[in-house]
Every structure is written in structure tokens, then in C-alpha cells.
Amino acid sequence: MKKGFRARQEARNGWLFMAPFSLLFILVFLVPLIISVRSAFFSQVSSGGGLFGGGEAVDTFVGFDNLAAAASNEAFWLGMARVVGYAAFQIPVMIIAALALALLLDSFLVRRPAFFRLSFFLPFAIPGVIAAMIWLYMYTPEVSPFMPFLPEGTDFMAPGTILASMANMTTWTYTGYNMLIFLAALQSIPNELYEAARLDGANGLQISMKIKVPMVRGAALLAVLLSIIGTIQLFNEPMIMQGANRWMGLDYTPMMLTYNSMMGQISPSGSGPASAYSLLMAVIAGALAVVYALLQRKKAN
């Protein structure tokens, strides 16, 4: 009886500790998700009718019309092609740089690793919009502190280079964040493995390549999955860059298209079309993440 009472009490205490998180999770994640899914099946239509409309806008059930319109929108798929191409070269560069920094901090080569760990992570603490504005300032020839020293004609905001410029901004921001993921995985590796390798005559480079890198495969999977999901939602960098480069348009990325549809800047507009774009992005991000995870599992096996 005492064991049963203690088990029930521990279970009750566990649920009480989980209650604040569960409540916030429902309010911040589940409720907006449900509202967004519902909005994708509705559209705001004028209640006045007639040739010139009139009256108040009311939510009208339109079934899959919003999703069909979003899936057939050429601008959406062009934007998706841009972010997928962007991810194809930005994510590998960022992940390799983050892993290299983590290996460096986990070695005996760096004194005061806490200082360097904080320094590498600091760009992530800067709000994304502020970071994008800083880089826009540095990319603008008239005010940039380093552009005058580059070859004449260098343009970081030309149509052929602007994706690489935005990739540089994202890499600068998130490399330190991903470095911490790798560093946590490296510090969880038992020291006995290193000692055994040294006894067998392995040097520092061999230990890194043969022990450390294979042991952080799970951390690499997590970092890449988070990066894929984040890249599909690319917004801060192109939105700030578009303010100085109007040729980009309001639909340069899927997230920009969604936002401007919601704000009424692009037709069709309203919460219905914007929610439909959001659902499509979620499905594509999930599909890419699953494909990458399956490929990694197959490679590991």
C-alpha cells in the first residue's frame, strides 16, 4: 500500500511540474496551429455582394481552394527553389564550420575555452532583424567600411550574388549555436576512449577523425534537421535586403510571400491564403527532414 501511494504521489508531483510547460505549449503552439489549419479552409468574403461588394468581411468555408491556389502559385515554387538552393550550400558550410570550432574548443590547443565559446555564440544573441540590418549596412557601397577596398564592380546585392550574401549572414549568426550542439556531444564522450586510443599510438588528429567525428553523428543530424526547418522559413535576411533591393519583389521567399499575403500586399490576401502557404511550407520542411534522416540512417547502417 505504501509503495502504491508513493508511486501515485510521485506521478502527481510529476504532472504538477509538467503543468506550466504543458499549459504554455498548448497556448503558444497547439492553439495557433489549430487556428492556422482552420484558416486554410476559409476565406474572407464581403457580405454585401453585388458588383462592388460592400458590407463586412466574413469567413466563408472554401474547402481546399486556398491550398489548391497556393500549390499552383508559380511564385511560391520559385521562392521554394531559391531557399532549397540556398540551403544546399549554406547548411554544409555552416555545419562544417560549427564542427571545426567545437573540435578546436574540445582540444588542448585553446586556452580560456569559455571566452571563445561565448565569443563564437555571441552573434546568435543578436536579434535576427538587427543582424540583417548590420550586414545590409556593410553590403551598401556608399556606407560600407570595407567595400572601398574591394575590386571595383563588387556587388554583394546583385541578383547573382544576393543569395550567397544572405547565406553569409545566416552562417555568421547560427554557426556558434550549432557549435554548442556539437560541443555538448563531444563533452559527453567517455575519456576512456581517448586514453585507449593514445595507448594504441593515435595522435590528436586521428582521435578527432576516428573517434570524435563519428561519435557526434547524432548531434550533426539534429543540427542539420533544425537548419533545414529554419531555412524553409527564411525571412529576416531577405525582408531586410528587399527594402534596399526592390527588384527582389514581395515574394522572393515563401515566408515573404506568406507574410505579404497576410498583410494584403499580395493577391490573394488574407489569413486563408497565408495559412495555406504556411501549411505547404510545413509539409515540405517535414518531407525534407524525413528524407535526410532516412538517408543518414541508411548510411549509418
pLDDT tier at 54, thresholds 50, 70, 90: low
Q: Is 9 found in the same domain as 142?
A: no
pLDDT tier at 2, thresholds 50, 70, 90: low
- Angstrom distances, CA of residue 56 to CA of 22, 45, 203: 37, 8, 74
Contact 83, 232 (CB under 8 A): yes
Q: Is 91 found in the same domain as 47?
A: no
Domain finish residue from 61, 80, 111: 61
pLDDT tier at 241, thresholds 50, 70, 90: very high
Q: For the residues 176-190, what does the mean pLDDT come to?
A: 90
Q: Is 69 found in the same domain as 56?
A: no
Name the strand (E) or helix (H) holding 27.
none
Residues 267, 75: Cα–Cα separation, whole Å: 12
Q: Is 33 helix (H, G, I), strand (E, B) or coil?
A: helix
| One-letter amino acid for residue 218 of the chain | G
Domain count, the chain: 2
Tell me the Cα Rg of the chain: 25
**Total-model pTM:** 0.83
Domain finish residue from 61, 76, 95: 61
Residue 204 has pLDDT above 80, yes or no: no
Give the number of C-alpha atoms closer than 13 A to the C-alpha of residue 143, restricted to the C-beta side: 8
Residue 113 has pLDDT above 80, yes or no: no
Contact 63, 191 (CB under 8 A): no
Q: Is 73 found in the same domain as 54?
A: no
pLDDT of amino acid 198: 83
What is the distance, to the nearest Å, from the Cα of residue 164 to the centroid of all Cα atoms in its chain?
17
Nearest to 285 by CA among 235, 221, 228, 236: 228
In the chain, DSSP finds a helix count (H) and a strand count (E) of: 14, 2
Residues 133, 280: Cα–Cα separation, whole Å: 29
Residues 274, 102: Cα–Cα separation, whole Å: 39
What does the CA dihedral 79, 83, 89, 92 come to, rounded to 10 degrees?
-170
Domain span including residue 8: 2-61
Q: Is 91 found in the same domain as 36?
A: no
Q: Supply 68's cell numbers.
A: 489548391
Name the strand (E) or helix (H) holding 46.
strand 42-46
| One-letter amino acid for residue 82 of the chain | R
